[in-house]
Each structure stands twice: as C-alpha cells, then as structure tokens.
Amino acid sequence: MSEPTTHFGFRDVPVAEKQRLVGQVFTSVARNYDLMNDLMSFGIHRLWKRFFVATSGVRAGDRVLDLAGGTGDIAALLAPVVGASGQIVIGDINDAMLRVGRDRLLDHGLLQGLAFQQMNAEALPFADASFDAVTIAFGLRNVTDKDAALREMRRVLKPGGRALVLEFSRVTQDWLRPLYDLHSFKVLPRLGRLFAHDADSYRYLAESIRKHPDQATLKAMMEAAGLESVGVHNLSAGIVAVHRGYRL
C-alpha cells in the first residue's frame, strides 16, 4: 500500500514528513517573522489580532492556552485582559519561535502569568477542562491533522469555554482575488528574498493559505470536533476570518 500523503503548500508529501518540513520553515523565518508580517500585510495583521482579542470574550482571571503562540503577539494583547489573576500558556511546536516570543515578551516586561511550553496541537499535554479559552492565530493551517487539533482544543476547554481561530480564509469579493493572488505569489516571495533571504518559505506560506479550508468548511470541522454555536466573522473581505466555538 502507498504511504498516506498530505499537502505541504501545493506539494503532496508523506504525512510523517509534514511536521518536519513546517518546522524547517518556521525555524528559518522566526527571527524575521514580525518584520515580514508587517511587510506582507501592510501592518493590517495588528488590527486583525486586536479585533480577535477584543471580541474573544476573555475576562480577568481566565486561564488561556494560546496555541501556535509564536512570537507572542496574541499573548501580549491578552495579558492585560486576564490581569494578575489570570494565566496565559503560550504553546508552539517550534522551539525557535518560542524562544523569539519569550525574549520579545521579556523585553517588554511581560512576565507575570505567562508560561511557555513546546507542544503539538494534535496531542495537548493538559487534562480535560483545563482552560477558559483556547486561541490559535495563523497557526491552524500549518497543523498536519487539523481535526485532531480541533478535538484537542475542545477537550481542554472548561464547560462554557471558547475555542477561537484567527486564520487566512477565502476572499469573498471576486474583483479582489486576482490582486490577492498577485500579492501572494509574486510579491511575498520577493519580500521574503529581500528581507529574510528566504523566498521558498514565504512561497510555502502563501500556498498554505490556499490549501486551508474555507470559512464554511472550517466551521463544519469545528462542529464535527464537538464545538457548538460556531460562528464566523470575516475581516478584510474574507482575507482572514475569526471562527469561534464553545464547549457547552
């Protein structure tokens, strides 16, 4: 029997290889990740993340798991929300990204209530019903088994807890798609080559967006994982979308 495959950008690769290949990409881009996010999105990613946190429903004293926490953008926004009585666990499968995030948050004096831990979103090292909210921003599309990750997100939520996904999605305006494709497949790799000396990684990141489930498909996946009252909110004409589901 042939070995099962999955997508790595537009390439099909053995399932067992994807995690390693994605790891190589994020190890390569870790140091320039924030700069490149600003260049690629013209800084709009900061507004998307602020909206994501502002509408998260997270409150003072909550315990939050931020998956694919990367360089700490979401944790930095959540920290003043959960306050001194809350906790944020920043999880990422990539050690290089975690180290960049830890150094960055330390430089900003954000210490209290933060914990950093290397982990795989498909098999979370926490007991059932451990968190009030689980967030993942621009990370789900890089997970090999997204269904397993969504099930794990639900499992570790307390009753009434929220799973929140911020991710690139399908553009809803026909006129915008050609311009978006031009930016994704022509501009992004050139920016990666010029500023990060790595065109291939940014080509993969653009391809991974196109392979990610669209709004309706991801909503159905979250429901299949056992999350309820799943809602979708498009931002920037669907370039990104916020999905929210509950463990009731």
Q: What is the pLDDT of residues 13-35, one digit of tens each?
A: 888 788 888 888 888 877 777 77
* Structure-block tokens of residue 159: 């009753």
The pLDDT-based confidence of 1 (bands split at 50, 70, 90) is low
Q: Is the pTM of this model over 0.85?
A: yes
Task: Look at the chain and report how many structural domains it folds into.
Answer: 1
Q: Is the dihedral of CA 248, 152, 53, 76 positive or negative?
A: positive
82: containing domain: 5-246
Mean pLDDT of the chain: 92
* Position 205 pLDDT exceeds 90: no
The pLDDT-based confidence of 2 (bands split at 50, 70, 90) is low
Q: By the 8 A CB rule, do 215 and 238 touch?
A: yes
> Can you tell me the mean pLDDT for 44-58?
97
What DSSP letter does each residue of 46-114 carry, written as one string? HHHHHHHHHTS---TT-EEEEET-TTSHHHHHHHHHH-TT-EEEEEES-HHHHHHHHHHHHHTT--TTE
Q: What's phi and psi for 186, nearest 5 deg? A: -110, -50
* Position 37 pLDDT exceeds 90: no
The pLDDT-based confidence of 189 (bands split at 50, 70, 90) is confident
CATH number at residue 60: 3.40.50.150
